[in-house]
Chain A
Amino acid sequence: MSDIDTLEPRTAEPAPAARKELTEALLYLDAVTVTFDGFRALNALSFTVDPGEMRAIIGPNGAGKTTMMDVITGKTRPDRGDVFFNGGTTDLTKLDETQIATLGIGRKFQKPTVFENHTVIDNLRLALKGQRRALPNIFRRESAAERERIDEIFETIRLTEHKDRLGGALSHGQKQWLEIGMLLAQDPKLLLVDEPVAGMTDAETAQTAELLREINANGHSVVVVEHDMTFVRDLGVRVMCLHEGSVLAEGTLDQVSANERVIEVYLGR
């Protein structure tokens, strides 16, 4: 009798052999394929991200970078393949955007997306980790701890003097930072950052690199998609080059940019 009770959960669990190997990885993608009307956006894409790791992803347009983020964040369901989070404990392909966000995956969009009709501070308040359910939020009051946390984030993203301006009134670069600040407020385990320095000045680019390194140093894993090679060099992290939906090369930036196939893809023949 008790045998059955204890046995049941064990037999119910599929326990694939692969799981054991990936207990270390925070994010695990294996053979992920996504097709849109016959077009293969992702082609058996596999890679892992370790806890506390920062990873840069480069690749020409249409390489599948945005689709990859869509798959990880639950916006797009893969046709085939596994996507696991938290050392293989959670299957992301079964969850929706909101559940994945709650698990601790934050995403910054390619086009900066802040709440334009809210003040900067309200943007952070909305993003701040905490109560997400509708009814309790009608009567929610801000706690002192939350206020402090927001102050900290303001210092990190350097927008303190803009806190009462509307999100929509910020400059492009400021919006990028506000969005990164909102990610920080969510306190995710993994940040997916899509082209954070597009449209930034050189100084801003350098500051952003520093900001991301700081965030990574505080224990957040970060995946950055970026075209700007100077910025990627500034990050000084492991680089992965995507092409036609799969990994073309992986290594340091120097290794990857010396790779013949990468050169071929970027420069053509």
Chain B
Amino acid sequence: MTFSARLRRLAGGLLLTLFAFCAGPGTEQAMAQGSSAPDISAPLAQLANDNYGDTEAALGALALSGSPAAAGVVAALADGKLVFSTSPRQVYIRGDAGLIDPLTMQPVADAPAVKPVRVNNRIRRAIDAANGALSLVSPDPAKRMEAANAVGRSRDEAALPALDVALAKEADPKVKSAMTLARASIVIGKEGISPAERIAAVDLVAAEGNQEALAILRSVPASAAPEVKQAAAAAIDAIERNLAMWSMAQNVWYGLSLGSVLLLAAIGLAITFGVMGVINMAHGEMVMLGAYTTFVVQELIRTYNPALFDLSLIIAIPLAFVFTGLIGIIIERTVIRFLYGRALETLLATWGISLILQQAIRTLFGPTNREVGAPSWMSGSFEIGQLSITYGRLWIIVFAILVFVALLATLRLTRIGLEMRAVTQNRRMAASMGIRTNWVDAATFGLGSGIAGMAGVALSQIDNVSPNLGQSYIIDSFLVVVFGGVGNLWGTLVGAMSLGVANKLLEPYAGAVLGKIALLVIVILFIQKRPRGLFALKGRSIEA
């Protein structure tokens, strides 16, 4: 999140707080700040002079007063709702119903004639500063925390007095340490600070270890003592090393995320290609059909029951599996079954099928991208250290792993899985043991296609849902399967993850396109070295 965005949020938060102030009775504030609410009648009187110099001075006093009522006054001034009467010389806040006394927050019974206190740019800057300073003493610890952080980031020397006041009063240890840090951030760059104090500040800031700390440490003035500069340089070095590690970790995370996408796209192929020996060039279109299933499900939900939107993906997954699985079975029964043992011919026929499916979708849904929304639990992110993790990526990784495990379990533990393995190993023997090989072929192809459909549901969240969706995955998927070793699901897993991570680790150095090219070349070279992939099945294969 950018700095300015944070400030905007801070401002929004302040307004909300103010709203609570205006609406509620004043008791809460008194409790939060203790019984001895500071007296702000002097600056209020100054405001009533409606003189820029006085107003600015009053704002300064209000900011340092630490009084909760002061916040209301400053906000009213910012909104042009602070008014004053000349006789008596007094300020009021213009509320919805009438004038309000800023000290008691009670409506004023017989309202005098009033004029707004004037504001110019100089005053506006003073208002901003006062707002920041006042939120440092806000009754809400979260607000104080945020204000401390904002001050730390702004490194505004003018905020130092307010910060010192707030620090003296602060009881919450967490907020206190944030304020100490903010103070250190300001002190580092300030002229006329003793070396010892500056080094203490450097240490404090260095402990943060992030990009901002780096920027703060670089603000040590050239005039600072050599030992300070040395300490800062050492701290910068350490942080940079640390950050490089985090950025590497972040890239690995992106790589795992890409890897799980590749895994989802390739794992169905590992079944149809690896297990059955069918080169299914229409595999990408199965993924595409899965994505369009998601689109249709969401459209129906939007039309009939918008409340279910968050469940749309959960609903789409089984539907996509069944739908693409059925399409797969139809393809197998009508085309593929005539081509077993002729791998290269399956490539041609399924390429034809992929063209037909693409064109069919283009005819039905149009050639442009369709909008597939993300349910609320897929959006947002959280942070671990310097690592930013979005929920969308996280869920896709989890989903990929679930699919992988489910597939492995299906092959290992179920009857149909046993029959599939039997048919792959020795078709004739399996047939003579009463296994209906035709049915198993259809089921296997259906399973592979169905998985591709589920992958499509996940990919609809990160890629454009268009008739060309499948095309962008087919080459990568084949490379993953071939790289990992045909006929080995674990190979597909390792292949997908290592290609994903390698891709993302290459990207910062080579750029996205060159990285991709480099990876293709690496895989091509790797296949020269190990023509049967990473996890080749060894054995006495006699070709002749």
Contact = CB atoms under 8 A, between A and B. Distances in A.
Interface of A: 36-37, 41, 66-67, 70, 75-76, 109-111, 113
B544 A76 contact: no
Given A41-B540, A70-B540, A70-B542, 15 more contacts: A36-B538, A36-B539, A36-B540, A37-B538, A37-B539, A66-B540, A66-B542, A67-B540, A75-B542, A76-B540, A109-B542, A109-B544, A110-B542, A111-B544, A113-B544
Contacts of A67: 540
Nearest to A37: B538
- Decide if the interface of chain B is mainly helix, strand, loop or mixed: loop
Contacts of B540: 36, 41, 66-67, 70, 76
A66 B538 CA distance: 16
B68 to A, nearest CB: 77
A267 B540 CA distance: 26
A109 B544 CA distance: 7
Nearest to A76: B540
Contacts of B539: 36-37
Query: Which of A66, A75, A111 has the largest number of chain B CB atoms within 10 A?
Result: A75
Contacts of B542: 66, 70, 75, 109-110
- Decide if the interface of chain A is mainly helix, strand, loop or mixed: loop
A226 to B, nearest CB: 17
A33 to B, nearest CB: 14
Contacts of A36: 538-540
B131 to A, nearest CB: 73
Category for how many chain B residues contact A: under 10
A66 B539 CA distance: 13
Interface string B518-544: 000000000000000000001110101
A75 B542 CA distance: 9
Interface of B: 538-540, 542, 544
Contacts of A76: 540
A75 B543 CA distance: 10
* 9 cross-chain pairs, A with B, having the tightest CB-CB distances, nearest first: A113-B544, A109-B544, A37-B538, A36-B539, A36-B540, A36-B538, A67-B540, A66-B542, A41-B540
Query: Which of B538, B539, B540 has the largest number of chain A CB atoms within 10 A?
Result: B540
18 contacts: A36-B538, A36-B539, A36-B540, A37-B538, A37-B539, A41-B540, A66-B540, A66-B542, A67-B540, A70-B540, A70-B542, A75-B542, A76-B540, A109-B542, A109-B544, A110-B542, A111-B544, A113-B544
A67 B541 CA distance: 10
Contacts of B544: 109, 111, 113
Nearest to B537: A37
Contacts of A75: 542
Contacts of A109: 542, 544
A41 B544 CA distance: 19
Nearest to B539: A36
A250 B542 CA distance: 27
Nearest to B542: A66
A76 B263 CA distance: 34
A67 B542 CA distance: 9
Contacts of A110: 542
A210 to B, nearest CB: 26
B395 to A, nearest CB: 38
Nearest to A69: B542
Query: Which of B538, B539, B542 has the largest number of chain A CB atoms within 10 A?
Result: B542
A239 to B, nearest CB: 24
B537 to A, nearest CB: 9
A188 B539 CA distance: 29
A41 to B, nearest CB: 7
B90 to A, nearest CB: 95
A241 to B, nearest CB: 20
A66 B544 CA distance: 12
A120 B542 CA distance: 24
A113 B542 CA distance: 12
B350 to A, nearest CB: 27
A10 B540 CA distance: 39
A66 B541 CA distance: 11
A75 B539 CA distance: 13
A70 B538 CA distance: 15
B382 to A, nearest CB: 45
Contacts of B538: 36-37
A110 B540 CA distance: 14
Nearest to B538: A37
Nearest to A34: B540
B428 to A, nearest CB: 16
A263 to B, nearest CB: 27
A194 to B, nearest CB: 10
Contacts of A66: 540, 542
A4 to B, nearest CB: 40
Nearest to A75: B542
A189 to B, nearest CB: 22
Nearest to A109: B544
A41 B540 CA distance: 9
A1 to B, nearest CB: 45
A75 B538 CA distance: 14
B196 to A, nearest CB: 69
Nearest to A113: B544
A77 to B, nearest CB: 13
A71 to B, nearest CB: 11
A242 to B, nearest CB: 15
Nearest to A41: B540
A72 to B, nearest CB: 14
A54 B538 CA distance: 33
A66 B540 CA distance: 9
A196 to B, nearest CB: 15
A109 B542 CA distance: 10
Contacts of A113: 544
A113 B544 CA distance: 7
A61 to B, nearest CB: 12
A218 to B, nearest CB: 26
A113 B540 CA distance: 18
A67 B539 CA distance: 11
Nearest to A107: B544
Contacts of A70: 540, 542
A268 B540 CA distance: 26
A190 B259 CA distance: 53
A110 B539 CA distance: 18
A111 B543 CA distance: 10
A75 B236 CA distance: 60
